[in-house]
Amino acid sequence: MPQDSIIVKETLDAKVTEETSGERHLNQYHIQRVLGSGSFGIVHLSLDADSNTLVAIKEFSKSKLRKQQALKNGLFIGACRGRGRGRGRGAGPANLAASGNNHAIVAKPVENPIDLVRGEIAILKKLRHRNIVKLYEVLDDPDQDSLFMVFELCEKGSLMDIGLDHPAPPLDIDLSRRYMQEMVLGIEYLHEHDIAHRDIKPDNMMISKDGTLKIVDFGVSEIFTKDTGTVVKSAGSPAFYSPEMCTARHGDLSVKPVDIWALGVTLYCMIFGVLPFSGTSLLDLYENIRVKELDKNPLTRITMDELRVHPWLSNHGKQPLITKEKNCAELVLAVTQTEVDAAVKPIHSLLTVLKAVTKLKGFGKSGAAIPHPPTGENHSK
C-alpha cells in the first residue's frame, strides 16, 4: 500500500472474535500466523480484509506495561525486545542515579496503562516518512489484558542478526551506505519532531518488500524539550550505549548525540559484521565503551547536519541526500486533544457473552481475546 494513500481509521466499535475453525479476527484483520515474539508479547501476520493488505499486529500485555511503569521513571512506546547478550535493553550501569532536572515526560502512576502511551501514539499515527514504519491504528480491549498496534509489514525482516556472542555476514560498502543514508533521514525526521529513538540498532531497522529501510520499535523513545534536548534515564541496548550513558550518576543526557552514537555503532556492524565493543559482563562492556578509542565527548560528536554532508555518506558528492527541508517537510506541528483521546480505540470484547453462552450450553472453553499460539520463531518484528 503506498505510503501517501494510507488513512488511519478511527473506528469506535471493534471486536475480537474466534471462529469454530480456530481462525481469529480482530475487527477487519484476519490473524494468520505468528511472526515472532519477545518480552513485549507477540507479533501476528495479519490480513486487512478491507484493503487486502498484509500487516503486522503487535499484541502487548497491559499488565506488563504497568509493571514496567513501576520500574521506570519515563514514558515509553511499545515494549522491550532484544536477543543475545548485550543486545537487550538494559537499565544502565549499576547504581545509576538521575540528577538534575528531568526534561523528559515522566510517567505517573495511573489506573489505565494505556494512558502511558496515548499521547505518543497520537504523534506516531501522524508521522509520515518513508524510513519510519507506519502505525495504522491502535486497538484496546478494556476487558482484557491485550493492547494491539497495527503496523505496516516489513517482509524482508531486520537489517541483520548480530550480537556479542554471534557475528553476522557484513554488508557491502554500497549497500551499507544506502542503508545508512536512510537511517540518517529517518532519525533526522524524528529529531525534528523532538523525538529521540534511544534504541537504534540493526534489530530495529527493518527492510520492506521493495528494499526500503524502516525504523521500528519506539519502546524507549522519548519526547524531549526543544530548548534543552535532554533526558535523565539511560535506555536502550547496552552494546549500543554511548560513553556518557556508561557512567553512573551521569545526570542529564543530550539525546541527539546518543542516537548519533548508536547510528555509528550500527554502521560498524553493517561493514564489519561484529559489534565494536564487547565485554565479559555489562560492567566490562560499559568500561570498554568508555575508555576505548573514538571521541567520547557528546559536545564534539558529529551532528546530524554534519553527518548528512559527510563525504563517505554522500559518496563524495555522487549520492547526496535530499535536503533537510524536503526530508522534514511533513512535520507534526501539533496534536489536538481530540487526536490524543482518539489515539487508542476501544474493543468491545465478546468474552462475557461467549462465557455465558458456553456455560449454558456446557461447552468447553469460550473464545476470548486472541490466544497466544506457540512461538517457535524468536524473530521479534
Backbone angles phi, psi at 163, to 5 degrees: -155, 175
Residue reference for cell 550480537:
163
Show binding-site residues.
Answer: 58
What pLDDT, in 10s, does the model give residues 321-369?
999 999 998 877 777 777 777 777 777 655 454 455 555 555 444 444 4
Show binding-site residues for ATP.
Answer: 58
**Regarding beta strands 230-231 and 24-26, do their DSSP bridges make them parallel or antiparallel, or are they unpaired?**
unpaired
Active site residue ranges: 199
Percent of the chain residues topping a pLDDT of 90:
27
Give the count of alpha carbons within 13 A of 47, CB side only: 7
Model confidence at 98: pLDDT above 70: no
- Tell me, what's the pLDDT at 231? 44
> What Å distances lie between residue 350 and 137, 179, 373, CA to CA?
20, 44, 20
Q: Which residues of 166-199 are buried (b: 16+ CB within 10 A; e: fewer)?
A: eebebbeeeebbbbbbbbbbbbbbbbebbbbbbb
- Provide the CATH topology of domain 3-361: Transferase(Phosphotransferase); domain 1 (1.10.510)
The residues that bridge with 301 in the sheet, in sequence order, are none
Q: Give residue limits of the domains in the chain.
A: 3-361
**Mean pLDDT of all residues in 179-200:** 91
279 or 259: which carries more pLDDT confidence? Answer: 259
**Mean pLDDT of all residues in 100-115:** 50
Model confidence at 129: pLDDT above 80: yes
pTM above 0.75, yes or no: no
